Amino acid sequence: KNQVEQSPQSLIILEGKNCTLQCNYTVSPFSNLRWYKQDTGRGPVSLTIMTFSENTKSNGRYTATLDADTKQSSLHITASQLSDSASYICVVKVGDSSYKLIFGSGTRLLVRP
Amino acid sequence: NAGVTQTPKFQVLKTGQSMTLQCAQDMNHNSMYWYRQDPGMGLRLIYYSASEGTTDKGEVPNGYNVSRLNKREFSLRLESAAPSQTSVYFCASSEVGPPREQYFGPGTRLTVT
CB contact under 8 A, B42 and A103: yes
If you average pLDDT over residues B29-37, what whole number do you get? 96
Per residue, the 3-state secondary structure of B25-39, as one string, reads ECCCCCEEEEEEECC
d(CA A38, CA A88): 6
Angular region, B36: left φ>0, alpha ψ -120 to 50, beta rest: beta
Chain A residues with CB inside 8 Å of B103's CB?
A: 46
| Cβ count near A30 (within 10 Å) | 19
| Cβ count near B98 (within 10 Å) | 13
Q: What is chain A's mean pLDDT, rounded?
A: 95
**Res B1: pLDDT:** 67
pLDDT, one tens digit per residue, over B54-84 is: 999 999 999 999 999 899 999 999 999 999 9
pLDDT, one tens digit per residue, over A93-113 is: 998 777 889 999 999 999 999
| Cβ count near A42 (within 10 Å) | 15
